[in-house]
Amino acid sequence: MAETVVCVGAVVRRHKSVLLVRQSPGHSLEGQWTIPWGQLGSGESPTAAVLRETREEAGIVAAVDGLLGVQELPEPWVGMLGLVFLCTHVDGQPTPDLWETDAAQYFGIDELATISDSLEPLTAWMVRRVFAGDFHLLPANDSCPFAPSPSYL
């Protein structure tokens, strides 16, 4: 049996907009706008990985607000688990890495309609729920005995 692969994604908010990146040619989601996301590196924590992915794919420094959700990924990614974090913009301008991503931009709710044909479905669903306030955030709980490692309980 293959090991489960853990992926992380960031819904990064800045004012009344969210950060999206467009996946580069050759990527399995080529040409689609998604949240910044990727796999955990060996020995890397999920929160460190989501901040790294956001910085690498979009040039944005962010802060984690909490755990937004967990998604078991469908075909062709069966065996992969996605942890999605809600984050806040701290610094930087959206800049694609020109390897995994070829565009990076903040979008308001009304602007999502302009990219609907190339907006990845899970991203569209998550971002629309965040804009509507239709989510339950699990913030880090500092009372955990393992603090400062974040616990979302």
Residue 4 pLDDT class (50, 70, 90 cuts): confident
Is pLDDT at 28 greater than 90 in this prediction? no
Residue 110 DSSP one-character state: G
- Tens digits of per-residue pLDDT, 51-101? 999 999 999 999 999 999 999 887 777 788 999 999 999 999 999 999 999
Mean pLDDT of the region 46-54: 97
Cis bond before residue 76 (omega within 30° of 0): yes
**Neighbour count for residue 102 (Cβ, 10 Å):** 16
Is pLDDT at 130 greater than 60 in this prediction? yes
Determine contact, residues 92/51, Cβ cutoff 8 Å.
no
Domains plus CATH for the chain?
Answer: 17-132 (3.90.79.10)
Residue 47 DSSP one-character state: H
